[in-house]
Structure 1
C-alpha cells in the first residue's frame, strides 16, 4: 500500500529575536553582519512556559482546522523531537490526550534532528505499507533555544523554535512519497550535542568556558562545531542527492524543486553550487524563522505550496542532514 502527504500546517511562537536585539546584547556583531553571515533576520522563540508538546498541539490544531481534517480518523501519532517535555512519559502520548485523539491511536516519539522529517515520512510510509495505520499525524516540534546559553551568540543567531504537522495517509488523491535514501555517521556525534542532563552525564552543574572573553562551551547547553558540521554536510549531501535520484530513477533535470534542511544561507548556497542545482529550483525559507531543526523542511514545503512553487504534478526532492550525524532524502510528487 502506498502512502501520501495529504496536508501540512505549521506553528510559530509569537516571541521574536531580531538581529537588532542580538546587536544590542553583542555590540561587536552588527545586525547586517549577522544577516550576511546566516541569511537570518529574526527567529521565533518559545516562551518560558511553552514546551514541545504545546507547539506540537498548536501545529496539529492548525492542521485540522486549515484542512478540515477529522481528528477521529487519526490512528497513529509520530512526534519527532530532541527536546521532549520529559524523559518519560512519551510526549506523543501527552499530545494524543490533549488533542482528544482516539485512545485506539498509536503514539511514539523519535529522537532525531535535522533529518527527522525525512525519517518520519519513512516511518509513516512503513506503518501504512504494513497495514498498521491509514492516517498518521506526523509532527516535528523543537525548542532548541532552551538548550542555548544566553552568552552563546553564535548559536543564538541560528536557531529558532517551531512545530509542523502533516497528515500522511493511504489516500491516493494527495502527494505521493518516493523511495528513501538514509545515512548515519555516529563518529560525528560530539560535534552537535547537549552533553549533560541524560543518564550518561546526569550532572547539571557546569562551568562556562571563555577564551579572550568569548564564550566557547558549557556542557549543560547546546554545543556545535560549525566547521565540522560544514565539512560533513558539504561532503555527504551531494552524494545523498545523487543516490536519491538514482534510486528513484530520476535525473537532476526531472526535479522541479529542491527543499533541503534550512541550516543557513552560506551552507545552502555552497551545496547548491556544488550539486549544480539551478537557483530557480532551489527553495529557501528561513529569513524570519531561523533554523528550526526537524521542522525546517515541512515549514519550507508549506510556504512553497502557498506561493505556488509547488503545484499539481511537481516533483520535489527533500533532504535532511545534521545532528547525529544523520541524513536522509526522498522525492515527493504532488
Structure 2
C-alpha cells in the first residue's frame, strides 16, 4: 500500500508562471463556430497559455521565473537551498536532467542535490511525497519542488481531441524542514501501468526511435490527424480509469488518515476537462464552492494544475489564514495520487508571465 505521511515539513510558499502567448479556442480554423462551441462546452476550455515550441520557452524557463520570484518573496538565498526536484515530461534534453541544468543556470551551490521525476498530471502529488519525505528527515533543510509542462507541443492542430485541451505552465513550491510549525501532508498513491497505451507519445524514446515515419500524419478517426510524435489519448479509457480509480484511492485516504470532508476548506481536483472534473467532484462529494476551477483560461496544464490553481484562485486565503485541503490527480500511466495538505499563511506570488 503506497502511503506517505510526511512529518516535520512546512510549505513555505508557492509561485506559478505561464507563457504570455494565448491560444483562443474560438480562433480555431478547422471547424465551424457551432462545432467549436460544443468542444468548449465539453472541455470547459476557452483559451490556453501556450509556448511557441522553437526552444525559446521551455518548462524549465517557466519554473525558473516562478522560482526567482518566490525566492525574492520568501527572502531565501540560493546558498540555503539544498534540494531541487523537477517534475515534468517536457524536459530540456533527453539527458542531462533538467533539475541539474537549473542548478547551474540559476546559480545554486554545487552542494545542492537536483534531479528529475518524469510524470504528467499526477506530478505535483507524487513530487510532494518524494520531496517532502526527503526534507522530513532533516538531511535537507530547504527544497524547491518545480512542477510543470509545455505539453501543448504534443497537440497536433488537426487533432481536435487534443488541441482544445492542452496548456503550458511552470510552478514551484518551497518546502522547509520545520518540526515546530510543520504542516499536515498525507498522501495515497496507486499505479496501473496497463493504461500506458491510452495516453502516449508513441515515438521519440528508446523503444520507438524517431524515424521518417514518425513525422507522417495519419488519419485517426473522426476527422482527426496526428503523427507518432504527437500525443495520443483514448478519452473513453482515461475517463473510465479516472472515475473508478480516483474515488477508490480517495476513500482510502479518508480512512487511513481519518479525514472528514466537511472539515476541509477545499478539494483540489486535477483540471483535465469539465466533464471529468464535474464527475469526480460529485463522486468525491464536494460542493461547487469548495472545488475551484481554472480550466476556462488555462486548459489542462498537467502536473502544474494543482499549484497553478492554488496561485490563481486561493492566493488571498493562502496568505491570510490557515487552510486544510484535499487533492486528487490522475495522469498518464495511469498514475493516481490523492492527498491532504494544510497551509498556514504561506507566501504566494502573483501569477507571472513569460
TM range (shorter): over 0.9
Superposition pairs for residues 114-263 of structure 1, below 5 Å? 114-171=121-178, 176-204=183-211, 205-206=213-214, 207-210=216-219, 214-263=223-272
Partner of 1:34: 39
Q: 1:211 to 1:107 in 2, by over 3 A?
A: closer
- CA RMSD between the two structures: 1.9
Q: Distance in 1 between matches of 2:222 and 2:321?
A: 54
Structure 1 residue ranges without an equivalent (≥5) = none
Q: Does 1:46 align with 2:46?
A: no
Describe the shift of the 1:309–1:242 C-alpha distance in structure 2 as closer, same or farther (beyond 3 A): farther
Give 1:12's aligned residue: 18
Q: TM-score, normalised by structure 2?
A: 0.89
CA distance in 2, matches of 1:213, 1:249: 46
Partner of 1:288, secondary structure, is helix
Looking at structure 1, the residues matched to 281 and 318 of structure 2 have their Cα atoms a distance apart, in angstroms, of: 18
Aligned to 1:317: 326
Contact persistence 2:45–2:297 (CA under 8 A): yes
Say which of 306, 322, 338 aligns to 1:297. Answer: 306
CA distance in 1, matches of 2:254, 2:138: 27
Aligned length: 333
- Measure, in 2, the Cα distance between the counterparts of 1:312 and 1:211: 50
Instruction: Go from structure 1 to structure 2 and tell me whether the alpha carbon gap of 1:211 and 1:123 turns closer, same or farther (over 3 Å shift).
Output: closer
Structure 1 residue ranges (4+ consecutive) displaced by more than 6 angstroms after TM superposition: none
Kept in 2: contact 1:40–1:289 (CA 8 A): yes
Q: CA deviation at 1:332?
A: 0.8
User: Secondary structure, in 3 states, of the residue corresponding to 1:79?
Assistant: strand
Shift of 1:69: 2.7
TM-score (norm 1): 0.94
Show CA shifts across 1:98-139 (max 9, x none).
111111100000001111101111111111123331111000
- Long gaps (5+) in structure 2: 1-6, 344-354
- Answer whether contact 2:88 2:118 (CA < 8 A) is retained: yes
Per-residue Cα deviation, 1:48-91 (whole angstroms, up to 9, x for no partner): 22112212211211222333332221111000010111110111
Deviation at 1:329, TM superposition (A): 1.5
